[in-house]
Amino acid sequence: MWQLVKHRLPIAGVTGAVLFMIVQVIANLSLPKLTADIVNKGITNGDVDLIKQIGIQMIGVSLISIVAALGNVFLASRISQGLGRDLRNDVFSKVINYSNDEFDEVGTSSLITRTTNDVLQIQNVMMMILRMMIMAPITLIGASFLAYQRDHQLTKIFIYVIPILIVVIAVLMGSAVPLFKKMQKLTDRLNLVFREGLTGVRVIRAFRRDTFEQDRFDQANTNYTNNALRVFSILAVMFPMMTLIMSGTNVGITWMGANLIADQATQTGNMIAFMTYAMQILMSFLMLSMVFVFVPRAQAAAVRINEVLALKTKIVDPKKPEALATETTSLKLDHVNYRYRQAENLALTDINVSVKGGETLAIIGGTGSGKTTLVNLIPRFYDVETGEVSINGVNIKAINKETLRDQVALVPQKALLFKGTLRENMKYGNETATDDAIWHALDIAQASDFIKETGKGLDTTVEQGGNNFSGGQKQRLAIARALVKEASIYVFDDSFSALDFKTDANLRQQLKDDPFMKDKVTVIVGQRVSTVASADAILVLDNGKMAGYGTHEALKQNSPVYQDIVASQIREGGAANA
Amino acid sequence: MPKEAPKANHGGFGGGRAGLSGSKPNNFWKTTLRLFSYMRRYYVGLAVVLVFAIASQIFQIRTPKILGEATTEIFKGVMTGTAQQKAGLTVDRYPIDFDKIKHIILIVILLYVLSAVLSFIQQFIMTRISQRTVYYLRKDLKQKMRQLPISYYDTHENGDIMSRAINDMDNIANTLQQNITQLITSTVTLIGTIWMMLTISWKLTLLALLIVPLSLVVVGVVAPRSQKYFAAQQKSLGLLNNKVEETYAGHIETKSFNHEHKDISEFKAENDRLYTASWKAQMVSGIIMPLMMFVNNLGYILIAIVGGTAVTNGTITLGNIQAFLQYTQQFSQPISQLANLANTIQATIASAERIFEVLDEPDMPKTKVDIPDVTDDQRKIAMSHVQFGYDGQDLLMEDYNLDVNPGEMVAIVGPTGAGKTTIINLLERFYDIKGGSIKLDGVDTRNLQREELRQQFAMVLQDTWLFTGSIYDNLKYGREDATHDEIIAAAKAAHVDEFVRQLPDGYDTILNEEASNISQGQRQLITIARAFVADPEILILDEATSSVDTRTELQIQHAMSKLLKGRTSFVVAHRLSTIQDADNIIVMNHGSIVETGTHQQLLDKKGFYADLYNSQFTGSLAI
């Protein structure tokens, strides 16, 4: 954790917080001394003026204490929350520049947790450190010193009390902490079963398994409750035990004190003051024991954040980027080999294709044949192992990623929209797009009808992930969004899969007929032969290798894999032979 | 994915629940009483808790005064000793009455131990009461979920129901666990402390009470501000988490639209807002303690001065003033605690209200209709004059008729979003029709138990819902009394056996929530096998359109056609072969049925279906 925070903490601020804390602790510790003075010097001697004088001193000290406390809280809040903000910014900026490789390696949901919860953990612990954790040792040292100074013989009481305290804390924490961890798992399980009951309600009822579900939930509920009973029973022991230890200490001090006073070895006021110091010493111990609960948790979070920050992005811009001419468009893959991170086998082997502006390249093949991998090479989401991808005659590694991606519009397999309005979503790739241009794109994407039905047009709200739209609607909106972006290469990665025949056909027809697309390169990845058949060139992929490349007619003659695919779909297609 | 801010541990190591503020119940007392009626099994336990908590607290409060007597005793001895010394006597040891002190200490120890034991027992019982109460509340909620009509699920967001089942339930558990006892002890402490102070000196007590309004001012000024900042913090945190989730999930979009700079600047702006709100929230909540301590110290000093004078005058003993000073320190704590509790308890009752709201939803109606059974009806399913529309919406079917003979296949077709699931809803009686009749083997389905009816059906939907459990258990889900052999046979028929055997744990492989350990196509196969296990007379099938690889797709088709063989079936069809072979085709658009007939009849009609069918050939080459 130290490694993560050391460069991010303002030294002056932290020093200030510590100094304020020292002042606060000293002020707090001198209060019992003044109280003792009131009793010893004031009350015993019947000196009311002295009592008042000491009283004024006490008010002064209280004021110092509160000012110091405010200073400490102010700095601690700003430093800890500032640390959280900086860490979040750093992690977010780092992750957003990750290539797909790094996203695959760490996993999206883990990255989300690291950016949000893990940083919060660190931030909260930092607040606690700057407030309580530095207060505890300072108080411990100060109070011990003062207690010893008051009466070194009474300090013997700690020989008995502290070991007891440590043993009790160790035993209770030792048994509670694993149960707390287990509680988290059992809570997750409880939530999971309940949520499945919601998402699967139709299936559950159709198969008449309501009772099974009720039992399943009851099991999770019982496990959770039993664990909670254990945890809280331990806590039920803990608090009375702590109170007992503290009260016991007071009783012990009174007994020892009475003897010492009788022997004239100390004074009554000293004993009273000693009791106060003793309480502060024990409280500090308790606070310090919290370190063992919170710091390991933050430590784990810190390790996970460090991993994110240390991970190097594979795909970087060239040192001297070349310019990209955009008068004419072309796309070429030349002897491309690709292998996933740490994979044994090549995911793509010796791929060679070439298309010019105005042409359509279609890619067909089974799942796992490498279709998506291939199209992800075009905007440099992954880098080729050997060989070269070039657009407009320039190797894409020689130009900036931004320049490249300006020219490529990709509609991914899983369409994702963002929370906001439809207009914002459509302008995602082109902030200057006019409403007319957006409507035109929606028309081509066969999306304007259902958008008009909402009655709000481009102001239609889009929920997170676009979840207020059906799968097919989302795909069409994602297509429209890509069309709004004025690129020169359009890539549709299986983007028509959730559409019915009619919509699919209309969309492709209009796309082909649109004058804007005349000199553009279109790449279509598909599963249906009917989707790819009209392309200028079809690439048939099988296990990452080219199993055919040419027109529909040619492939029907010379590609066995393509023939298989056609045959399997003709059986279902039937009348499509017409 | 974790979305919420870190919550305080379940009663663990302290920490407030900041996110709770702001929600107020509509009917506080009614809901409170109802919540208490949930604890009626434990009224005796609650009484014990109440008595023990009060007793324990009283002992806790009394002890400083008694221990103070020991100090007084010591002081007396010292005074006597000093007086003797002044009189010229040699005093080795001050004449302190150790017997008396021993006596006092024994009483104090006894009281402390008693208080600790009572407090432990009380907490122990309360833990059982609270956890069991919430256990039953959860159980009831789950029970209720099975009695609610599907329309409830369709009209309420899962997120909303989950939040009631989880967050609101948590609030109640925490409050019952900690806050009820806190309420008792704080009240007792407050009253007890004041009482004890009164027994020492009413004048000093009045003086001490002067600080109450002062602490109330502190709480009253600071607490709302802290709530305001915490609410702002919570809101910012939520927005920020959404932003992170959305951006990471859409990182492909971010990259392909060159959106990195914009995302970073948006993130930073929100992050800055979070920083401002959260440091202020931390700051304000952090200064409450020092402020209260300051107020407390003021009271303390005042009492020391006045009390000191009184001791000098001999109107009060030193032990008493010592005890009184301790009470003064204890005194403001219950006040601020009670102020906090008021908020928490309100929020909890609001939570309880949200849960009771679900429990009070009307159950599925038990409808019996006066439609006589038709004995030896040859038709499997007969829909006659069916009227249906979703609640509060226009009728989708006004007078629909369809006969389905045993073994026939009915295809349901229509463009994306045409409402093809409506038919499934009616057949399975997820929704009841508004008029007319749907008969199964001559019996109106509303005169059958829902369970009886559904026994005849099995469903394979595109949404491949499987529960988190082993593959084997998921297959067995189809029919509880299926034998091992039947299950394996079903798995083989649906091409499940082949891939399951390649998994390291075979049939014991646990499917996780996202089922990322098997592919989408394999999930689909499992749902088909599940339907095989159910071995129903009637099948409802939703053909997959989602992208699965060709091989798996062939397997799915193959398994589906095997499953269809010899059964009456309703198929939401996307494949021409399925549609053409159907005995009847229901064509849907915009939620209603537009046409019904065979493929050829519908083509001849040249209506919507003919248009739909022909359109797919435009723009594509002949294969």
- pLDDT tens digits along A437-454: 999 999 999 988 888 888
Report chain A residues whose CB lies below 8 A from the CB of B119: 239-240, 243
Report chain A residues whose CB lies below 8 A from the CB of B450: 205
Instruction: Return the pLDDT at B13.
Output: 29
Q: Which residue has the higher pLDDT, B82 or A367?
A: B82
Residue B534, min C-alpha distance to chain A (Å):
8
Place of tokens 């320190």: B329
- Give Rg (Cα) of chain A: 36
- Can you spell out the DSSP letters for A346-399? -SEEEEEEEEETT-EEEEE--TTSSHHHHHHHTTTSS--SEEEEEETTEEGGGS
Residue B138, min C-alpha distance to chain A (Å):
8
Instruction: Return the pLDDT at B21.
Output: 41
| CA–CA dist B364, A442 (Å, integer) | 42
Report chain B residues whose CB lies below 8 A from the CB of A93: 264
The three-class DSSP label of residue B285 is helix
pLDDT level of residue B612 (50, 70, 90 thresholds): confident
Determine, for residues A194 and B241 on separate chains, whether the beta-carbon distance falls below 8 Å: no
Checking if the pLDDT of B282 tops 90, the result is: no
Among B605, B577, B558, which residue's Cα sits nearest to residue B413?
Answer: B577
A52 interfacial to chain B (CB closer than 8 Å)? yes
Residue B294, min C-alpha distance to chain A (Å):
6
| CA–CA dist B281, A400 (Å, integer) | 44
Instruction: Return the pLDDT at B6.
Output: 33
Report chain B residues whose CB lies below 8 A from the CB of A396: none
Q: CB contacts < 8 Å between A and B, how many? A: 476
The DSSP letter of residue B463 is S
| CA–CA dist A232, B125 (Å, integer) | 10
- Could you tell me the CA-to-CA distances from B274 to A7, A48, A112 in Å, in that order? 22, 53, 17
Residue A433 backbone dihedrals phi, psi, to 5 degrees:
-60, 140
| CA–CA dist A472, B415 (Å, integer) | 10
Determine, for residues A368 and B549 on separate chains, whether the beta-carbon distance falls below 8 Å: yes
Among A5, A14, A8, which residue's Cα sits nearest to residue A77?
Answer: A14
Q: Which residue has the higher pLDDT, A292 or A525?
A: A525
Determine, for residues A73 and B162 on separate chains, whether the beta-carbon distance falls below 8 Å: no
Predicted confidence (pLDDT) per residue in B153-176, tens digit: 888 877 788 888 888 888 898 888
| CA–CA dist A258, A247 (Å, integer) | 17
The three-class DSSP label of residue B61 is helix
Predicted confidence (pLDDT) per residue in B490-518, tens digit: 999 888 888 888 777 889 888 875 545 67
Q: Which residues pair with A351 in a beta bridge?
A: A336
| Cα A363–chain centre separation | 35
Q: Which residue has the higher pLDDT, B215 or A81?
A: A81
- A181: nearest CA partner in chain B: B9
- Could you tell me the CA-to-CA distances from B26 to A73, A252, B19, B169, B350 in Å, in that order? 37, 53, 19, 18, 7
A148 interfacial to chain B (CB closer than 8 Å)? no
CA A532, A533, A535: angle at the middle one, nearest 5?
A: 70
Q: Per mean pLDDT, which range of A436-450, A503-517, B227-241, B302-316 is the poorest?
A: B302-316
Checking if the pLDDT of B318 tops 80, the result is: no
Determine, for residues A207 and B530 on separate chains, whether the beta-carbon distance falls below 8 Å: yes
Place of tokens 């009663």: B11
Checking if the pLDDT of B544 tops 70, the result is: no
| CA–CA dist A558, A538 (Å, integer) | 13
Checking if the pLDDT of A107 tops 50, the result is: yes
Q: Which of residues 306-365 of A touch B (CB under 8 A)?
A: none
| Cross-chain CB nearest to B282 (options A127, A267, A578) | A127
Residue B368 backbone dihedrals phi, psi, to 5 degrees:
-115, 135
| Cross-chain CB nearest to B545 (options A239, A498, A577) | A498
Determine, for residues B549 and A366 on separate chains, whether the beta-carbon distance falls below 8 Å: yes
The mean pLDDT of B63-75, rounded to a whole number, is: 83
A22 interfacial to chain B (CB closer than 8 Å)? no
- pTM, two decimal places: 0.74
Burial classification of residue B29, based on how many CB atoms lie within 10 Å of its CB (0-12 exposed, 13-18 middle, 19 or more buried) = exposed
| Cross-chain CB nearest to A35 (options B293, B304, B578) | B304
- B554: nearest CA partner in chain A: A568
Residue A385 backbone dihedrals phi, psi, to 5 degrees:
-80, -50
Determine, for residues A508 and B619 on separate chains, whether the beta-carbon distance falls below 8 Å: yes
Instruction: Return the pLDDT at B356.
Output: 93
Q: Which of residues 70-129 of A touch B (CB under 8 A)?
A: 70, 73-74, 76-78, 80-82, 84-85, 88-89, 92-93, 95-98, 100, 103, 108-109, 111-113, 115-117, 120-121, 124, 127
Interface test with B, best of A23, A73, A446 (most B CBs within 10 A): A73
Residue B479 backbone dihedrals phi, psi, to 5 degrees:
-155, 125
| CA–CA dist B88, B146 (Å, integer) | 92
The DSSP letter of residue B178 is I
- Could you tell me the CA-to-CA distances from A372 to A93, A505, B475 in Å, in that order? 26, 22, 32
Among A53, A22, A13, which residue's Cα sits nearest to residue A37?
Answer: A53
Long-range contacts of the stretch A5-12 (C-beta < 8 A, 24+)? A5/A83, A5/A122, A5/A126, A5/A302, A8/A83, A8/A86, A8/A87, A9/A79, A9/A83, A10/A79, A10/A82
- A271: nearest CA partner in chain B: B71
CA A343, A345, A348: angle at the middle one, nearest 5?
A: 105
Six-digit token string for A17: 């917080």
Report chain A residues whose CB lies below 8 A from the CB of B280: 77
The mean pLDDT of B580-588, rounded to a whole number, is: 86
Residue A351, min C-alpha distance to chain B (Å):
21
Q: Per mean pLDDT, which range of A23-32, A164-173, A174-183, B212-221 is the poorest?
A: B212-221
Checking if the pLDDT of B4 tops 70, the result is: no
pLDDT level of residue B549 (50, 70, 90 thresholds): low
In A536-574, which positions are buried (b, 16+ CB within 10 angstroms) versus exposed (e)? bbbbbbbbbbbbbbbbbeebbeebebbebbbebbeebbe
Among A398, A186, A152, A377, which residue's Cα sits nearest to residue B138?
Answer: A186
10 Å Cβ neighbour count for B50?
A: 16
Tally the residues of chain A: 578
| CA–CA dist B14, B11 (Å, integer) | 6
- B452: nearest CA partner in chain A: A208
Determine, for residues A180 and B9 on separate chains, whether the beta-carbon distance falls below 8 Å: yes
- Give B92's contacts (C-beta < 8 A, 6+ positions apart): none
| Cross-chain CB nearest to A96 (options B260, B574, B578) | B260
Q: Per mean pLDDT, which range of A515-519, B128-132, B483-487 is the poorest?
A: A515-519
| Cross-chain CB nearest to A465 (options B146, B249, B621) | B249
**What are chain A's domains?**
2-151+266-310 (1.20.1560.10), 330-577 (3.40.50.300)
The three-class DSSP label of residue A469 is coil
Give yes or no for a contact between A52 and B306, defined as CB atoms under 8 angstroms apart: no
Determine, for residues B142 and A218 on separate chains, whether the beta-carbon distance falls below 8 Å: yes
Q: Which residue has the higher pLDDT, A321 or B13?
A: A321
Among A465, A459, A460, A461, which residue's Cα sits nearest to residue A478?
Answer: A465
Residue type for A394, please? Answer: V
- Could you tell me the CA-to-CA distances from B491 to B506, B535, B559 in Å, in that order? 12, 13, 10
Tally the residues of chain B: 623
Residue B488, min C-alpha distance to chain A (Å):
19
Checking if the pLDDT of A221 tops 70, the result is: yes
Report chain A residues whose CB lies below 8 A from the CB of B91: 264
A67 interfacial to chain B (CB closer than 8 Å)? no
- A474: nearest CA partner in chain B: B416
Q: Which residues pair with A539 in a beta bridge?
A: A363, A549
Determine, for residues A203 and B461 on separate chains, whether the beta-carbon distance falls below 8 Å: yes
The DSSP letter of residue B13 is S
Determine, for residues B454 and A570 on separate chains, whether the beta-carbon distance falls below 8 Å: no
Name the strand (E) or helix (H) holding B45.
helix B43-86
Give yes or no for a contact between A61 and B296, defined as CB atoms under 8 angstroms apart: no
| CA–CA dist A386, A352 (Å, integer) | 12
| CA–CA dist B431, B435 (Å, integer) | 12
- A530: nearest CA partner in chain B: B620
Determine, for residues A240 and B120 on separate chains, whether the beta-carbon distance falls below 8 Å: yes
Q: What is the complex's ipTM, to 2 decimals?
A: 0.82
Six-digit token string for A368: 């796992």
Checking if the pLDDT of B105 tops 80, the result is: yes
Among B380, B409, B396, B392, which residue's Cα sits nearest to residue B436?
Answer: B396
Predicted confidence (pLDDT) per residue in A319-366, tens digit: 888 888 888 889 999 999 998 766 667 888 999 999 998 899 999 987
Determine, for residues B244 and A530 on separate chains, whether the beta-carbon distance falls below 8 Å: no
Give yes or no for a contact between A444 and A483, defined as CB atoms under 8 angstroms apart: yes
The mean pLDDT of B287-312, rounded to a whole number, is: 79
- Give B342's contacts (C-beta < 8 A, 6+ positions apart): none
Determine, for residues A82 and B279 on separate chains, whether the beta-carbon distance falls below 8 Å: yes
Give yes or no for a contact between A307 and A107, defined as CB atoms under 8 angstroms apart: no
Predicted confidence (pLDDT) per residue in A520-575, tens digit: 999 999 877 878 888 899 999 887 889 899 999 899 899 888 888 787 665 444 43
- B317: nearest CA partner in chain A: A43
